[in-house]
Amino acid sequence: MGKISEKSIRSFIYKVCVVGDGGVGKTSMVLRYCENTFKDNYIMTIGSNFSTKQVELEEYPNYLVKLQLWDLAGQKHFSFVRPPFYRGGSGIIYTFDLTRRSSFQNILEWKEEVEKVIGNGKPSILVGNKIDLAEKGNREVGETDGESLKDEINAISYHEASARENINVESIFEELTLAILKNTQKL
Ligand code: GTP
């Protein structure tokens, strides 16, 4: 690859919202992606957490993308504080827990809550988290169910991941970033 001149560098900032039921692993996914760490203890998010991450895309080495990651409190009693945080969102990660079927069933409600604010044209990815636990025999959602829900909610892809074991986390955020770039810059 040739040297990239400073002039040809283009910078973008995109807001991504990570949503899903309480305890599915939203904070853990963001923490794994941004700081490559994991915490076993559960500290419930109150309102929202905000992190940033610079993304390097092999396909577009002259594009500097900074993601603003909003990880929103998933517990029901925080539903009244969430809508303003969706405003300006360029992409969504819908997350459920592969070992808790109710969190999978609630994804349709999450979609409705988000789209009330940002409309239905933004790229999204559906993620079944805690694959490490699912593989130990605790799986409550099959891969084909995930794929069907992905089609139903019009997400660009479905991935099974583990924030704990660092499975698929980085590639999910990169894939979404690429989709956002394509959506907004018409690449
Ligand atoms: P809220 O803040 O309530 O919305 O929850 P959250 O979706 O942000 O979940 P959080 O990341 O706080 O994780 C909840 C619990 O699940 C914590 O105890 C995490 O350690 C655990 N956890 C998260 N991801 C994984 C994973 O991939 N595998 C396993 N085994 N545990 C996980």
Give the pLDDT confidence of 134-155 residue by residue, as tens digits.
Answer: 999 999 999 999 999 999 999 9
Asked whether 136 lines ligand 1 (CB < 6 A), one says no
- What six digits make up the tokens of 169? 């986390």
Number of domains in the chain: 1
Q: What is the DSSP letter of 76?
A: G
Asked whether 120 lines ligand 1 (CB < 6 A), one says no
Quote the ligand 1 centre to 22 CA distance (angstroms).
8
Asked whether 162 lines ligand 1 (CB < 6 A), one says yes
CB atoms near residue 65 (< 10 Å):
20
pLDDT in tens, 20-71: 999 999 999 999 999 999 999 989 888 888 999 999 888 898 999 999 999 9
Helix, strand, coil shares of the chain, percent, nearest 5, are 40, 25, 35
Asked whether 103 lines ligand 1 (CB < 6 A), one says no
- What six digits make up the tokens of 119? 């409309």
pLDDT band at 4 (very low <50, low <70, confident <90, very high): low
- What six digits make up the tokens of 95? 């997350």
Cα–Cα distance measured from residue 65 to residue 56, given in angstroms and rounded to the nearest whole number:
7
Quote the ligand 1 centre to 181 CA distance (angstroms).
29
* Structural domain includes residue 96: yes
Strand partners, 162: 167
For residue 15, what is the domain's CATH number?
A: 3.40.50.300
Q: Which domain holds residue 78?
A: 6-185
